[in-house]
Chain A
Amino acid sequence: MISAYAGKLLRVDLTSRQVRSESIDPDAARRFIGGRGLATKMLSEAVHPQVDPLSPANTLILATGPLTGTSAMCGGRFMAVTKGPLTGTIASSNCGGTFGPELKYAGYDMVVLEGAASEPLLMVIEDGKVELHPAGELWGLNVHETEDRLHGELGRDFQLVSIGPAGEKLVRFAAIINDKGRAAGRSGVGAVMGSKKLKAIAVRGTGGLSVADPPGFRAACLDSLAKLEAGEITGQGLQSFGTAILVNIINESGVFPTRNFRQGQFESAEKISGETIAEEILVRPRACVACPIACGRVTEVRGGPYRSRGDGPEYETVWALGADTGVEDLGAVTKANYVCNELGMDTITAGATVACAMELFEEGVLSEKDVGRKLKFGDAEAVVDMMTKIGNREGFGDVLAEGSARVAERYGRPELFMGVKKQEMPAYDPRGVFGMGVQYATSNRGGCHVRGYMIAPEILGVPQKLDAHTPQGKAETNIAFQNLTAALDSIGVCLFVTFSIGAPELAAMLKTATGFDYDADEFMQVGERIWNLEKLFNMKAGLTRKDDTLPRRLLSEPMPAGPAKGLTVPLDEMLTQYYRLRGWDEQGAPTQEKLAALGL
């Protein structure tokens, strides 16, 4: 038994309804840690990368890290790892809330879901006892109804993950939701759970976790906590204003994608900013387990047609459902966010897909007859309406439920898809922040910001300011961020801690918790190993260098106005540099020497 781990995983064959408990392999844990890393290793061995992601041959792994559920700050995270139905690449989505720690207290580091059931099922885990129950009565309920029903039946001590109608109906960007408002959001992991007909997992655990070096671990955690509390961003900023505090700076820097990336500034940004949210709709901040940062928002729209209460919106969400669709009504943006939480889908892809459809509509490619209504930029009511239709696959929502890459392709305008590897880019236009360009192009799960958050140095000056308008040095920094994040996603701690601490502090907590002799260098090397393994999975799935690219608009249509006016992304230069620094060949394949050095 390895310290800090529960030491076991639960393997569930949903087809035969067989459940098995297996030990966690200590050698694999040492080399891949847990969470994203260990789950990627197991997925790579179990699933052929060319399987249909929504077939029983795909596997879905919910994986905690060794620090999940310990007293490490922000250690409430788990990952959902599978082959993604949106992208066809590896998918790994991070989720907060209470489920991860509870799973470990029940005795398991991971749940490995194989096959597919013939009828809807509910899985109940209680301290090592596991049962599968028919869940026909839950099928069709939204996430909030599901949680309320299960809490009523099982008791509030159970922590839950579930899918909503979007996951059941295989919306390609359906999410897995925990605590009503925390999502393993991206790449369609919820659709994979839906394809397996697993509606929810309820878990309760009363066990504890032991660490290898209790005084050392306590000291390492206190050191990190002190740095988080002293840091302006993690100590106070995120709690006061949430992540949407970014709206104004990204907009003023001219890289706030507006109307499907036609522009880089939104004239009504102020109306959907973190400051406005704090003044107008914030009820209180909300934190995941053991998190002193509390970036989450409990909000209430108090009047008008969108009166309601719930969680959110985050920065990426106000962008996707606001600026990207040209909507300035904060009440509507917030309501559309609540609908996504309830139906269980990713706000980024949902909003960006409507934005793409709006451009198709304004270009005359889509008609009112196709859509069943007008769909112009700025139409708040249309955005809220389309969220409901997508999540239920009703009317034109059924078309949009496939994501914008497939929508743009279907209507003969593939260049209007604003994403990479079929996944929509989030809220930063790389024409004015070049490092995000190489980040989006190389991200192993398609358009994504949290694989290597280049906004921190290029815009926010953290840890130090880089010139956003030069390609120099971007590949190198991006690689370091990608490796760091891959390791971080494997230990079970939230990415936001990296605004105040880095690899040395994370490695110190990991070492004292597990007893494995990690230092900062090895921690970063584990991240590099995971990144390369993900890349190998994608190559075997059929992806090549030509998939490491950006939409034509960003490569050849100069930014029309603002501080980034006249710029396009100099991707080739950064990409060549990136491959070289990664030790990959010109086609972007890891060389034999690199794989040998990483022990892959």
Chain B
Amino acid sequence: MNVEVRLFATLREYLPAGSGRTSAQIEMQEGTRICDLLDRLGIPAAIAHLVLVDGRYEADRTRELQDGCAVSIWPPIGGG
């Protein structure tokens, strides 16, 4: 299945080579969980502070991803 990964702020350095400014399409096996995706990209779990799946906050890192979904990940950020 295909998942769109979007990485922001300092996490952009974990994007695979050849990606756009903040996003990449990644081919994963069915049943892949958020934590598997983090492993595959080499992102330490502790700095993946905010994970949104299709715009919705996801606290459960063992949640399985669906084909065609968009996973967006941020380190701790602030502003305002």
Contacts and interface: CB of A to CB of B under 8 A. Distances in A.
Contacts of B59: 465
Given A232-B75, A237-B9, A248-B8, 4 more contacts: A237-B76, A240-B9, A249-B72, A252-B52
A315 B10 contact: no
A324 to B, nearest CB: 16
A276 interface: yes
Size range of the chain B interface in the assembly: 20 to 34
Contacts of B39: none
Nearest to A244: B79
Interface in A234-289: 234, 236-238, 240-246, 248-249, 252-254, 270, 274-276, 279
Interface residues of chain B: helix, strand, loop or mixed (majority): loop
A526 B54 CA distance: 42
B55 A252 contact: yes
A229 to B, nearest CB: 14
Given A249-B50, A254-B55, A461-B50, A275 B76 contact: no
Interface string B39-64: 00000000101101011110100000
Interface of B: 6, 8-10, 12, 21-22, 47, 49-50, 52, 54-57, 59, 72, 74-80
B21 A275 contact: yes
**Residue of A231, A232, A254 with most chain B CB atoms under a 10 A cut-off:** A232
A287 to B, nearest CB: 15
Given A249-B50, A460-B50, A460-B77, A236 B10 contact: yes
Contact of B78 (A275, A460, A562, A563): A460
Contacts of A462: 76, 78
A245 B80 CA distance: 9
Size range of the chain A interface in the assembly: 35 or more
Interface stretch (A167-175, A397-405, A450-458, A530-538): A450-458
A50 to B, nearest CB: 33
Interface in A448-501: 449-450, 453, 455-456, 460-462, 465, 467-468, 495-496, 499
A455 to B, nearest CB: 6
Contact of A233 (B22, B55, B72, B76): B76
A252 B57 contact: no
25 contacts: A233-B78, A234-B78, A237-B75, A237-B76, A237-B77, A238-B78, A243-B79, A245-B8, A245-B9, A245-B77, A245-B78, A245-B79, A248-B22, A249-B52, A249-B72, A249-B77, A253-B57, A275-B8, A315-B79, A450-B80, A453-B80, A460-B77, A461-B57, A462-B78, A495-B80
A342 interface: no
A575 to B, nearest CB: 23
Contacts of A276: 21
B79 A563 contact: no
A468 B80 contact: no
A328 interface: no
**Residue of A244, A449, A499 with most chain B CB atoms under a 10 A cut-off:** A499
B56 A563 contact: yes
Contacts of A233: 76-78
A54 interface: no
**Residue of A245, A314, A449 with most chain B CB atoms under a 10 A cut-off:** A245
Nearest to B52: A252
> Sorted from nearest, which 7 A-B pairs have the closest CB atoms?
A243-B79, A563-B55, A233-B78, A232-B76, A246-B79, A499-B78, A315-B79
A24 B54 CA distance: 55
A528 interface: no
